[in-house]
Amino acid sequence: MSFSTPARACGIDFGTSNSTVGWLRPDSDPLIALEDGKITLPSVVFFNIEERRPVYGRLALQEYLEGYEGRLMRSLKSLLGSKLLKSETTVLGSSLPFKDLLGFFIGELKKRAEAVAERPFEEVVLGRPVFFVDDDPAADQEAQNTLVAVAHKLGFKDVSFQYEPIAAAFDYESGIQREELVLIVDIGGGTSDFSLVRLAPERRALAERQDDILATGGVHIGGTDFDKQLSLQGVMPLFGYGSRMKSEALMPTSFHLNLATWHTINALYAPASQRALQNMRYDIVEPIGIDRLFRLIEQRAGHWLAMQVEESKIELTERANRPIDLQRIEPGLVAELTRELFESAIEPLLERIRGSVTQLLGNAGVTVEQVDTVFFTGGSSGIPALRQSVAALLPNARHVEGNNFGSIGSGLAIEAKKRYG
């Protein structure tokens, strides 16, 4: 796309784990540097109690890990489509609707982008997953409506949407030399989204591309789900997960599920939750695991542990093993995490992803032999087992790796220029 003046509008990729803002202007990268020269802003807010202020991104994680008192909130996008969105949480001693929490973070993206651009943005193309919520069109529409309301409240006058994998397709199209039938595989922090798109150099400038989109699909599985399964299989047994009660029943799993899920970790610290654990402790045959759980709760170490699991997941893309040192909980305690364990833990999720891709091809009436290229993007698309799993479905297709964190934001910038000039 040739142009001589900056675009009026920006594109925002509000991600579960990381977010970007794209803005087309001559002779510049479309992605705006949002934090310390980096194009991504981790989707994290830390409410610092000592200084009574919100902090964002890498600085939020840093202050939390340095031991500042406060409340860490992550995976904010997972709130969209969830029942939590209509409720409130306590922040700095006051009640805060979860919807306003989304506004805090998206508002920070807007503020940082406008500071770099030295101009306000009143029009925006927001990325969205193909499905915020699986198999529930009403909840899915409500999630999108929530984002529209948040964006309007922040000062955006015109808000439109593009599917995230379609945005990634337009980014890929900007560099191809011939027509291709491309399967876009976008594995983000919260969702796996797929699009089958016909792309070609001569079609880049067309405003209407609906006929080129053969099918879209997706499933509500992403990086945070991979983290959860790795945590449940490799870490939570050390904290009592799977413990047997004197009645021969297993210990209820809700405590460990909360601890293994980013946006529910704080629920474990609630007095009612701790009382329930205390009442249960004397009914457990071997209480060593639950006693470790009490020490973790006492230290408020849930988010620290979740970060360790996430780092292990990332490192297991390159390494065969990555232990977690749990010395702070108990001297000599280690969670031995391996790639083999991780791949076994996520296999049921990979099966659902394969099923979604197969359904997509069937909906489009396309055979696996007809797909020219598989384009991988999204922060979780680098997991070897996931790539091999999808690639095995399309053995004749070329495999291309996009910018795992930037393809969608770049594509949304292209779309914003087309729509708003």
Residues 231 and 325 in one domain: yes
If you average pLDDT over every residue of the chain, what do you get? 92
pLDDT value of position 336: 96
Average pLDDT over residues 95-124: 94
37-52 confidence digits (pLDDT tens):
999 999 999 998 877 8
Residue 228 lies in a domain: yes
Residues 237 and 111 in one domain: no
Residue 352 lies in a domain: no
Pairing of strands 10-13, 18-22: antiparallel
Could you say which of 105, 122, 156 is where a domain stops?
Answer: 156
pTM (predicted TM-score)? 0.86
Residue 182 lies in a domain: no
Could you say which of 133, 156, 179 is where a domain stops?
Answer: 156
pLDDT value of position 146: 93
Secondary structure of residue 332 in the 3-state scheme: coil
Residues 150 and 229 in one domain: no
Angle at 195 between CA 339 and CA 158, to 5 degrees: 115
Alpha-carbon distance 334 to 327, whole Å?
7
Average pLDDT over residues 228-247: 97
Which is nearest to 162 in space by CA: 186, 182, 179, 138? 186
pLDDT value of position 67: 83
Alpha-carbon distance 303 to 301, whole Å?
6
Could you say which of 320, 343, 366 is where a domain stops?
Answer: 343
- Position 3 confidence tier, pLDDT thresholds 50, 70, 90: low
Which pair of tokens denotes residue 331? 């001297």
pLDDT value of position 208: 81
| Ranges 51-55, 246-250, 410-414: which has the least confidence | 51-55
Domain extent at residue 137: 10-156
Residue 297 lies in a domain: yes
Residues 57 and 140 in one domain: yes
pLDDT value of position 246: 94
Residue 271 lies in a domain: yes
pLDDT value of position 249: 94
Residues 145 and 251 in one domain: no
Average pLDDT over residues 19-35: 94
Residue 230 lies in a domain: yes
Q: pLDDT exceeding 90 applies to what percent of the chain?
A: 76
pLDDT value of position 82: 80
Average pLDDT over residues 175-195: 93
Q: Is the pLDDT of residue 32 over 70?
A: yes
Q: Is the pLDDT of residue 2 over 60?
A: no
- How many domains does the structure of the chain reveal? 2
Residue 186 lies in a domain: no
Alpha-carbon distance 34 to 20, whole Å?
8
| Ranges 82-96, 110-124, 335-349: which has the least confidence | 82-96
pLDDT value of position 4: 75
Measured CA to CA in angstroms, residue 131 lies from 144, 146, 255, 412 at distances of: 10, 14, 28, 18
pLDDT value of position 346: 98
Q: Is the pLDDT of residue 1 over 60?
A: no
Residues 338 and 245 in one domain: yes
pLDDT value of position 59: 95
Residues 16 and 151 in one domain: yes
Pairing of strands 324-325, 334-335: antiparallel
Residues 31 and 107 in one domain: yes
pLDDT value of position 43: 94
Partnered with residue 88 across adjacent β-strands are 97
Residues 6 or more apart whose CB falls under 8 angstroms from that of 327 comprise 333
CATH classification of the domain holding 50: 3.30.420.40
Average pLDDT over residues 260-278: 91
Q: Is the pLDDT of residue 75 over 90?
A: no
Average pLDDT over residues 303-319: 94
Average pLDDT over residues 219-243: 96
Residues 142 and 25 in one domain: yes
- 295/82: higher pLDDT: 295
390-414 confidence digits (pLDDT tens):
989 998 999 998 888 899 999 999 9
Residue 86 lies in a domain: yes
Alpha-carbon distance 49 to 43, whole Å?
19
Residues 128 and 245 in one domain: no
115-173 confidence digits (pLDDT tens):
999 999 999 999 999 888 888 899 889 999 999 999 999 999 999 999 999 999 999 99
